[in-house]
Amino acid sequence: MFNIGRCFGSSAKYLASLPVWRQAIKLQNRMSTVPHPVAAVCQVTATPDKEANFSACKQLVEDAKERGACMVFLPEGFDYIGSSREETLSLSESLAGDTVSRYTQLARKLEVWLSLGGFHERGHDWETDRRIYNSHIIINDKGDIVSVYRKSHLFDVELPERGVSLKESAFTIPGPSLVTPVQTPIGKVGLGICYDLRFPELSVALQRHGAEILTYPSAFTVATGAAHWEVLLRARAVETQCFVLAAAQVGRHHEKRSSYGHALVVDPWGVVLGDCGGEKPGMVLVEVDLEKVSSTRKNMPVQQHRRDTGFYHSLEET
pLDDT in tens, 158-209: 788 777 777 788 889 999 999 999 999 999 999 999 999 999 999 999 999 9
C-alpha to C-alpha distances, 21 to 4, 30, 152, 216, 267, nearest whole angstrom? 9, 14, 38, 26, 21
Distance CA 156, CA 166 (A): 6
Considering the candidates 70, 194, 242, 276, report the single residue annotated as catalytic.
194
pLDDT category at 34 given cuts 50, 70, 90 is: low
Based on the residue annotation, tell me whether 13 is a catalytic residue of this protein. Answer: no
Considering the candidates 7, 70, 121, 151, report the single residue annotated as catalytic.
151
Based on the residue annotation, tell me whether 65 is a catalytic residue of this protein. Answer: no
Render 51-106 in DSSP notation, one character per residue: HHHHHHHHHHHHHHHHTTEEEEEEEETSS---SSHHHHHHT-B-TTSHHHHHHHHH
Q: Is the pLDDT of residue 30 over 50?
A: no
pLDDT category at 13 given cuts 50, 70, 90 is: very low
pLDDT in tens, 70-118: 999 999 999 999 999 999 999 999 999 999 999 999 999 999 999 999 9
Architecture of domain 3-317: 4-Layer Sandwich (3.60)
In the chain, the percentage of residues whose pLDDT exceeds 70 is 89
Considering the candidates 7, 42, 57, 76, report the single residue annotated as catalytic.
76
Based on the residue annotation, tell me whether 76 is a catalytic residue of this protein. Answer: yes
